[in-house]
Amino acid sequence: MHFRQGRHHQNNKQMVLKVAETAEAAEKVIGKTASWTSPSGKVIQGKISALHGRKGNVRVIFEEKGLPGQALGQKIAIL
């Protein structure tokens, strides 16, 4: 996973996750909730909104606050 970013800006509230090998399999998780648990036990939740490309990646939008940088490369639970 990584932040959704452009050339000059980084959006901490939107993440790109690899959830499947194909776009057809990734479409099945759209609308579900993704949650990340910090080392201190705090849970941050977001909603899977759309596909990102055709390789099985999806976009997740975290509404209340974005994820910290320490979340990069870690696993996220999909509920």
Q: Find residue 3's DSSP bridge partners.
A: 15
**How do residues 62-75 score in pLDDT, each as one tens digit?**
887 788 888 888 88
CATH code for position 53: 2.40.10.190
Contact 77, 32 (CB under 8 A): no
pLDDT lower than 50: segments of the chain:
none
pLDDT for the residue 29:
94
* Number of domains present in the structure of the chain: 1
In the chain, the amino acid numbered 36 is W
Please tell me the predicted confidence (pLDDT) of residue 2.
Answer: 67
Domain range for 61 is 2-78
**Tell me, what's the pLDDT at 74?**
86
pLDDT recorded at residue 72 = 83
